[in-house]
Structure 1
């Protein structure tokens, strides 16, 4: 392995919604993924960060893992650790807008698109949600179809529905 590759330290644990894997860079939490099992979680992490050297290290990533499991199990909780957000300007703008949606509320893709500081479409909001590597903390689960229906979610529609229900959305 090349020594000039970025190092991400990761840890894996279990939450009510599945296996959680968290990756930490020098800047903060770069990834928080939810999967059905450890094998899938690690494969998803490798896919999300193909150029990084992934190092299993709970001594470095353990605090972030505990915080990640806590927020996945109680999505209304604040996440106090720094984030290392990686995306295009458009994705970063959508993710910022998502973080302003209060727990217990949802927004349609179109409504969220109108709230972003740049001109984007509802489809581009969906694409930014699909590119999100930080589950629950960047609350893509709070975005629904215009009719209020639940549609796609990177970590499974069944998890999206559970997260929304856990937050008490009617």
Structure 2
């Protein structure tokens, strides 16, 4: 992407004559192609070569007549020489041709294959193997494994486990017996369901169904520069980090759990949480025990992947997990985050750059972003 002298290297032989498309010509593009795009967000995606946004739009270079996907490795053109279009079809209709280096037309095929695989996994009565999933999508297993994780943030097996755990959670919430819920969710044996439930629900199926009965949660309220912080954990890891809450709020969330004061182990975890609040750029790998649907987990994983000092819009987060239309749901998942700061939902902004909401107040969100280096 860039100037005419690069085109022989990028597009192969024979090179085509260099030409440019004027902005007046661009005004003739059909209205159906002129879908609203955030040009600055698109440009930023190209600048960081954001692979997660491949297939969501293309960038077209006026001086070369080439269009590329955001992750294209070629040298970037000048900003004034680049426009953004919703898809390759719109770019071709406007007179541009595909870059043979990044092959933007192939991204759509990959995304369709992943969506087909997700549907295949969702319809399967038992967990299909990687080979079966890849064969259904028409790819080699090792290649599709990487492709699926790139598009969804999860491996096919992890996606399938999350989907089953979500079904189990729904069945338990509807009042079914634990045994019936396990088999209805697609498990062949209770042992696998209990293993998945510990990972995805934060507790066993019976405990989830019964308001946390049988689960011991220790808690402590510690002082930070942003106010009092509730830190609570099961034996597995942190299950709640929140500002301005205490034991009463914890009991409402887990009405049948055994709620106990913190011990030395929790005090050590709480000290690290406070350190993270005071120095949010410091990387910490703390044990967690939180429940969430497959969608929520994907959003939370996307949040944790945002580097300190950077932000993402809710639309970018939704797009990064393969659900570009689920912007509102992504925002809701951010709000459902139970581990403040550790899962950095404060790094999520509105598409216009506004701070948006924050469960613990906009001033705290603003302070955290300032401590990290100021967002975008």
Common topology (TM > 0.5): yes
Residue 274 (structure 2) pairs with residue 69 (structure 1):
yes
* Greater share of residues in helix: 2
Residue of structure 1 equivalent to 2:288: 83
Aligned partners of 2:298 and 2:310: how far apart in 1? 19
Long gaps (5+) in structure 1:
none
TM superposition shift of 1:146: 0.4
Please tell me whether the aligned partners of residues 93 and 117 of structure 1 are also in contact (alpha carbons under 8 angstroms). Answer: no
1:42 is aligned, of 233, 237, 247, to 247
TM superposition shift of 1:45: 2.5
Please tell me whether the aligned partners of residues 30 and 133 of structure 1 are also in contact (alpha carbons under 8 angstroms). Answer: yes
Q: Residue deviations 1:40-69, cap 9 Å, x none?
A: 433332333334221112323111110111
Please give the TM-score of this superposition, normalised by the length of structure 2: 0.42
Residue 334 (structure 2) pairs with residue 129 (structure 1):
yes
Residue 239 (structure 2) pairs with residue 30 (structure 1):
yes
Aligned partners of 1:4 and 1:112: how far apart in 2? 35
Deviates more, 1:49-58 or 1:141-150: 49-58
Q: How many residues align structurally?
A: 165
Long gaps (5+) in structure 2:
1-211
Q: Residue deviations 1:83-134, cap 9 Å, x none?
A: 1121111111100010000000000000110001456511111111111110
Specify the SS of the correspondent of 1:33: strand
Specify the SS of the correspondent of 1:113: helix
TM superposition shift of 1:6: 1.0
TM superposition shift of 1:160: 0.7
- Assess, with a 3 A threshold, how the Cα gap between structure 1 residues 132 and 107 changes in structure 2: closer, same or farther: same
Aligned partners of 1:74 and 1:48: how far apart in 2? 29
Aligned partners of 1:49 and 1:73: how far apart in 2? 28
Aligned partners of 2:327 and 2:256: how far apart in 1? 30
Residue of structure 2 equivalent to 1:138: 343
Residue of structure 1 equivalent to 2:109: none
Specify the SS of the correspondent of 2:364: helix
- Assess, with a 3 A threshold, how the Cα gap between structure 1 residues 43 and 160 changes in structure 2: closer, same or farther: farther
Specify the SS of the correspondent of 1:46: helix
Aligned partners of 1:120 and 1:34: how far apart in 2? 31
Residue 215 (structure 2) pairs with residue 6 (structure 1):
yes
* Greater share of residues in strand: 1
Specify the SS of the correspondent of 1:12: strand
Q: Residue deviations 1:64-88, cap 9 Å, x none?
A: 1101111111111122221112111
Please tell me whether the aligned partners of residues 107 and 143 of structure 1 are also in contact (alpha carbons under 8 angstroms). Answer: yes
